[in-house]
Amino acid sequence: MEISPFVIFFASIFTSNVLLTNFLGMCSYLSISRDLKSSLGLGQAVIFVMTATTVLNYLVYHYILVPYELEYLMYIVFIIVIAAFVQLVEMVLERFLPNLYYTLGIFLPLITVNCAILGVALFMVIREYNLLQSLAYGAGGGIGWTLAILALAGIRQKVDETRLPKGLQGAGFAMIVTGIMALAFIGFSGIISIS
């Protein structure tokens, strides 16, 4: 049965959140989640890059790799496409939209190596999404990732003002909070099937 792109869009934000149910993209999630402002900047960059590269990779996969039966090369090709795209976007922003570059652009190099972006592209192939579904999945995945990092940043900002035992400060606390949040999100994962 064909799943509606809308279903995929909402499911990838909430019930199949790429960060909280697949635990992808953890490095920048843990390191940039100290305050809400930079989390939002990073999140916006992820939304944009994830949406665009998922569509790009869809086109590359279906119009170049599949016709020549080169599907096994998708890992390499996806990574190259993502890296080149991120760099190009960074240059364009730096030149033409300096304000946007300062709020969002400086996070772009971090995203080149974000596994959530590659993960979404690979899921798109494994789950055999069509173009519209891929677009919805990319956008939803990005928004879901942003939601998760914003939630963590909010909690961390609050908790930074309280006194934690030394062993729990920083990453330790972030991992525990992420685990608890993931429990909540995974609890709903059976409601909608997206693959």
Query: Residue numbers of the site for another protein (CB under 8 A)?
Result: 37-38, 41, 60, 64, 68, 70, 73, 76-77, 80-81, 84, 87-88, 91-92, 94-95, 98, 102, 106
The DSSP annotation for 144-194 comes to HHHHHHHHHHHHHHHHHTS---GGGTTHHHHHHHHHHHHHHHHHTTTTS--
Q: Which of 125, 135, 139, 142 is nearest to 28 (CA)?
A: 142
Q: How far apart are CA 55 and CA 76, in angstroms?
A: 17
Q: How far apart are CA 14 and CA 48, in angstroms?
A: 18
Neighbours of 170 (CB within 10 A): 14
